[in-house]
Amino acid sequence: MSFVSKTWAVFRKDMQSEFRSRYALNSIMLFCVTCVFVVSFAMKSATPDSRVNAAMLWVILFFSAMSGLSRTFIKEEDQGTMNTLRLACEPMPLFLGKAIMNLSLMLMTLVMASPLFIVLMSVDVPNPSFFAAVLFFAGTGMAGICTLLSGIVAGARGRGTLFPVLAFPVLLPIFWVAVEATDLALLPGAPWEQSNLVLFLASYSIAAVVGGSFLFEYIFTE
């Protein structure tokens, strides 16, 4: 099998098992929706400014990602299928397939959560294209990084609590820039003049996925 078809096979296998159990999707989605409701309920009729809205949106997305995206390799370890994967596939296509799977999960979450957030918090989005670009690239980066970190914690004890601890410092560049950029997107004005922010998110995401796919080999090979 070629590199691409192996990557595709890993992605398809995960997608299929996801559609049968809906475990990751359910956990990440329910968590996210509950968070949005909790925040919205607590804020009631208060009208926070764009910065507070941006901050809350990203706090919700961060913890949703933590709850769902860590599952990729932990799941394999729990079901005892990690060694099968080791026999069937090289590290790099496996990592990329898992990263694409995580990316799809993250995008589904974004597509569900952000409109819900906008509606429930009655947020104005004067710059939807910039908003969407920020969400997309920040989501890509988070998915890529969480894939590697999931591989890192898969063999560790107490990984449920360890995962966010490991992830926060590495995700902080994304988190920081994403909050700043979302703030801009929620304000009237021309945020595309600050396209540096989106460029940074895009390049960090690419670097994280490429770097991760090389480093993954060392933690995967026994």
Partner 1 sequence: METFKKGALVFLFVWLSCVLYGVFHVMPRTEVLGETGRILHLHVPMAWIASLSFLISAYHGIMVLRNPSMKHDIGAEVASRLGMWFCVLATVTGAVFAKHAWGGYWNWDPRQTSIVVLMLIYMAYFGLRSAINDPDKRMRVAAVYAIFAFFTVPLLMFVIPRVVGMTLHPTVVRQGGMDRITLIFFLSSIAGFTGLYVWMYDLSMRVEKLIKKKEGYDV
Q: Which residues bind partner 1 (CB under 8 A)?
A: 148, 152-153, 155-159, 162, 165-166, 168-170, 172-173, 176-177, 180, 196-197, 200, 204, 207, 211-212, 215, 218-219
Q: How far apart are CA 101 and CA 119, in angstroms?
A: 28
Q: How far apart are CA 121 and CA 126, in angstroms?
A: 15
Q: Which is nearer to partner 1, 2 or 161 (CB)?
A: 161
Could you tell me the smallest distance in angstroms from the CB atom of residue 86 to partner 1?
14
Could you tell me the smallest distance in angstroms from the CB atom of residue 83 to partner 1?
14
Q: Which is nearer to partner 1, 31 or 175 (CB)?
A: 175
- Report the helix count and the strand count for the chain, using DSSP H and E: 9, 0
Q: How far apart are CA 134 and CA 142, in angstroms?
A: 12
Q: Which is nearer to partner 1, 132 or 219 (CB)?
A: 219
Angle at Cα 64 formed by Cα 198 and Cα 40, nearest 5°?
90
Could you tell me the smallest distance in angstroms from the CB atom of residue 75 to partner 1?
18
190 token code pair: 């021309």
Could you tell me the smallest distance in angstroms from the CB atom of residue 65 to partner 1?
16
Q: How far apart are CA 185 and CA 168, in angstroms?
A: 24
Q: Which is nearer to partner 1, 90 or 180 (CB)?
A: 180
145 token code pair: 């990084």
Distances (CA, A) of 85 to 13, 75, 79, 145: 11, 12, 12, 20
Could you tell me the smallest distance in angstroms from the CB atom of residue 120 to partner 1?
28
Q: Which is nearer to partner 1, 113 or 220 (CB)?
A: 220
In the block, residue with structure tokens 């941006």: 54
